[in-house]
């Protein structure tokens, strides 16, 4: 690709893009458009070093503010946009990129459409669906730069022992290194949301522990954190209906006593993985355990 292929992108004015779209953002539909040029310009630079930008996915293109910047750094961009007005605007605004096969616009819900093959994802996500979208993307093992509500981002990146640490922290960090790279004030958006935002970089990597059954591990973590103020011992006993354990008493009998006395917020992801392995062995019918559960 030559430099001339990108000369028409990368510096469009956010306010002008919104005007040309012919429709303002609707807070009721989570439409808060980032209009601070300085923040928009920085977002693509937060991709991990040496990221493959041959095909970048954007979820929630809106009037194309971030789309414009992504087209300046990526070979190809696919945008998923559920609002028909904005989807039509993106096709018209970036007609040259579409004709050059550099832009594809998929009209639909990012939780329902088939995702294309992509090399990285950079998006300002709708807050109401940010968790579901993030956990649709994370298992795919691609670099992600995503905008979230600040509190959500802080919980995603939290370390064990901190107030923000929870199920979200363990689940996200199972798939990737999670870094909050920039906090964004609500004044950077139009219309302004009631909350502050944060940009998060998620760099995929394998966890430093083994998990035989990922679904069971994540369900087990979810179950224990529903009882985060109780000890792990009581959490195991009280949440079999969530974790799927047949014999929680056998798990308590087999697990490390010191770990059982802690609370979920003080258990690191690797310790959860070890505990989930014990739970799968001793607490599920058909396992290898001979524990009697007394």
Beta bridge partners, 144, equal 121, 202
32 is an annotated ligand-binding site residue: yes
241 is an annotated ligand-binding site residue: no
Tally Cβ neighbours within 10 Å of residue 157: 23
Q: Say if residues 276 and 243 touch (Cβ distance below 8 Å).
A: no
186 is an annotated ligand-binding site residue: no
Q: Identify the residue whose tokens are 């995702």.
A: 115
Closest CA to 148 of 226, 32, 245, 48: 32
Collapsing DSSP to helix, strand or coil, 164 comes out as: coil
34 is an annotated ligand-binding site residue: yes
Q: What is the DSSP string of 125-145?
A: --GGGHHHHHHHHGGG---EE
**CA atoms of 248 and 137, how far apart (whole Å):** 32
89 is an annotated ligand-binding site residue: no
**Helix 130-137 vs helix 150-157: angle between axes, to the nearest 10 degrees?**
40
41's tokens: 């310009």
The DSSP secondary-structure symbol of 286 reads T
> Binding site: residue ranges?
32, 34, 60, 81, 109, 124
User: Annotated binding site for S-adenosyl-L-methionine: which residue ranges?
Assistant: 32, 34, 60, 81, 109, 124
């Amino acid at each position: 690709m030559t430099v001339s292929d990108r000369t028409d992108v990368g510096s469009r004015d956010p306010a002008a893009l919104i005007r040309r779209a012919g429709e303002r953002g609707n807070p009721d539909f989570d439409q808060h458009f980032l209009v601070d040029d300085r923040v928009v310009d920085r977002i693509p630079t937060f991709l991990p070093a040496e990221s493959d930008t041959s095909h970048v996915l954007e979820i929630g293109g809106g009037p194309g503010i971030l789309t414009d910047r992504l087209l300046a750094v990526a070979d190809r961009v696919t945008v998923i946009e559920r609002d028909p007005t904005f989807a039509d605007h993106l096709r018209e605004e970036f007609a040259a990129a579409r004709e050059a096969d550099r832009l594809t616009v998929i009209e639909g819900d990012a939780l329902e459409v088939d995702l294309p093959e992509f090399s990285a994802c950079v998006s300002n996500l709708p807050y109401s669906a940010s968790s579901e979208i993030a956990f649709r993307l994370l298992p795919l093992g691609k670099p992600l730069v995503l905008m979230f509500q600040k509190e959500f981002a802080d919980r995603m990146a939290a370390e064990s022992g901190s107030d923000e640490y929870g199920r979200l922290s363990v689940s996200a960090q199972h798939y990737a290194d999670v870094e909050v790279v920039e906090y964004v004030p609500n004044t950077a958006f139009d219309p302004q949301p009631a909350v502050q935002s944060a940009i998060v970089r998620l760099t995929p990597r394998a966890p430093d522990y083994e998990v035989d059954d990922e679904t069971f591990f994540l369900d087990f973590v979810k179950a224990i954190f529903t009882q985060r103020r109780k000890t792990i011992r009581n959490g195991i006993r009280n949440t079999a209906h969530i974790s799927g354990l047949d014999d929680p008493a056998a798990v308590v009998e087999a697990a490390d006593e010191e770990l059982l006395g802690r609370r979920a917020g003080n258990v690191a992801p690797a310790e959860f993985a070890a505990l989930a392995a014990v739970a799968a062995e001793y607490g599920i019918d058909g396992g290898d355990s001979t524990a009697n559960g007394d």
